[in-house]
Structure 1
Amino acid sequence: MAEVVTKGVGKVERTADRAEVQVSFETLGSTRDEAVRLLTARIAEVEPALGRPGVEVRSRQLTVHDNWDGRRRSGSRAMQNYVVRVDDVTGLDGLLGALVTAEPTWLNGPTWQLKDDVEAVREAQGEAVRDARRRAEGYAEALGARLGPLHRLTDGDAEAWAAESNRMMAAGFGGAPGVPPQMDQLNLEAQRIVVTVRCTAAWTLLD
């Protein structure tokens, strides 16, 4: 039985409705205890902002270690790393403004996401199958044959979807203490995410 095997691609665009931000705060002290006390005081200003509606702290990671200058100990360092998820993207500007005002050592984001990709994946799957069928019909016509029923269908990707236009904004903040950058000058609008599905289909060819 003759068959034709084609590949199909389906792409669907959606506007991101979730963002993720990574932020770190670091302090130095002559001892570990001092470094931790300074860090605790510093992040005390940050925690209220992380408790806003629609904001979820996915992880808090504390790191404390000594600094060394060759074989000589030269104080201690404490760092708190946060991974923050924002489900209400309308409040993202305010959250980032509060974080920047708190003088983070490092801030990376936002990384744009979809809260639920099921509907978009299914729509992309349908488009991928239709694309594969259009290609198969073209080959069948070129061969003077008719396209028969679907014989086999496999997912062409290890992952169901890829956020091809997913953008990450990384910002390093310096300058005078207490002077945050102008948040309204940053492009913080929710980005478009392309949900992509690929498939491979085998169709029977009829005389």
Structure 2
Amino acid sequence: MTNDAAPYGTPETPRVAVRGETRLEVDPEIARIGVTVSARGKDRRAALEDLTSRNGEVLDLIKSYGDAVEKLETGAFSISPELSAHGRGERVRAYHGRVRVTAVLADFTALGELVTRLADLDLTHVDGPWWSLRPDSPAHAAARRQAVLEAVRRAREYAGALGAELAALVELADIGAESPATYNGPRPAGAMRAAAPYGGGAATPAPALDLEPQRQTVYAQVNARFTMTPPQL
């Protein structure tokens, strides 16, 4: 029966285990903004009609940027009563409505103009942008390749220090490859907030906001095991 205690190697075939790590700083590829549209009416129907009109105005404005907008999604919607603080019984003074819209853009020149125009609309709150890379960005593959090259370089240095040479690759694995992956979404970075007042937008269009995209950090780590020739001790 063979002894497979060779994860640690043998005097004839020693093993070396290393970790390859890399970190790249790259420009973002996309930016996400959130838009909250609000409305207020004396009755539920009036609030809904007002909200529908404002929401349509926001969607039309975002869609007018064509291919610069990669994704447009409507999220949470709510309509709620505002109760009177005085009087014997509870009375509804007004209804408030809100709808949340999210847009993803790759054209950052258009982004600066769009966020300004959105913030200039009545009862419209804008937050973001949140910069990020696409899940299939080439930057991720580049980081992984560099991590592998770093692992090979380290292993060669260790072997060379012993007067040996690398012989073969035994194992190559992502850090945490056997653990469940988790994803918490893009990190809110460089966030901007703007809210249009209840009194209406400005008479002349506001100038486009000059946005400076935030560089993204891409990490990659691998574990690697190699066999090497017998050391010259």
TM-based fold match above 0.5: yes
CA distance, structure 2, for counterparts of residue 164 and residue 42 of structure 1? 28
From 25, 36, 42, the counterpart of 1:30: 42
Unaligned runs of 5+ in 2: 1-8
The alignment of Structure 1 onto Structure 2 pairs a total of residues equal to 206
Matching residue's letter, 2:30: R
Secondary structure of the 1:46 match is helix
Which protein is richer in strand relative to its size? 1
2:191 match: secondary structure: strand
Q: Is the 8 A contact 1:25 1:81 kept in 2?
A: yes
Q: Would you say 1:201 and 2:224 are equivalent positions?
A: yes
- Give the unaligned 5+ runs of structure 1: none
Instruction: Tell me which residue corresponds to 2:72.
Output: 58
Give the letter for the 1:154 counterpart: A
- Cα 1:122–1:102 change in 2 (3 A) is same
Alignment root-mean-square deviation, CA: 3.3
Q: Which moved more, 1:12-21 or 1:155-164?
A: 155-164
Aligned to 2:25: 13
**1:32, distance to aligned residue in structure 2 (A):** 2.0
Are the aligned partners of 2:190 and 2:214 in contact in 1 as well (CA < 8 Å)? Answer: no
- 1:136 maps to what in 2? 155
Partner SS, residue 73 of structure 2: strand
Post-superposition Cα deviations, 1:84-134, rounded to whole Å, max 9, x if no partner, equal 111322211111111011145432111123347442222111110111122
Identity of aligned residues (%): 27
DSSP 3-state at the match of 2:37: strand
Q: Answer yes or no: is the 8 Å Cα contact 1:16–1:192 preserved in 2.
A: yes
TM-score when scaled to structure 2?
A: 0.72
Deviation at 1:141, TM superposition (A): 3.3
SS at match of 2:57: coil
Q: Distance in 2 between matches of 1:162 and 1:193?
A: 16
TM-score by length of 1: 0.80
Find the aligned partners of 1:41 and 1:101 in 2 and give their Cα distance.
Answer: 16
Contact residue 36 and residue 98 of structure 2 kept, 8 A: yes
Q: Secondary structure at the match of 1:72?
A: coil
1:99 equivalent to 2:118? Answer: yes
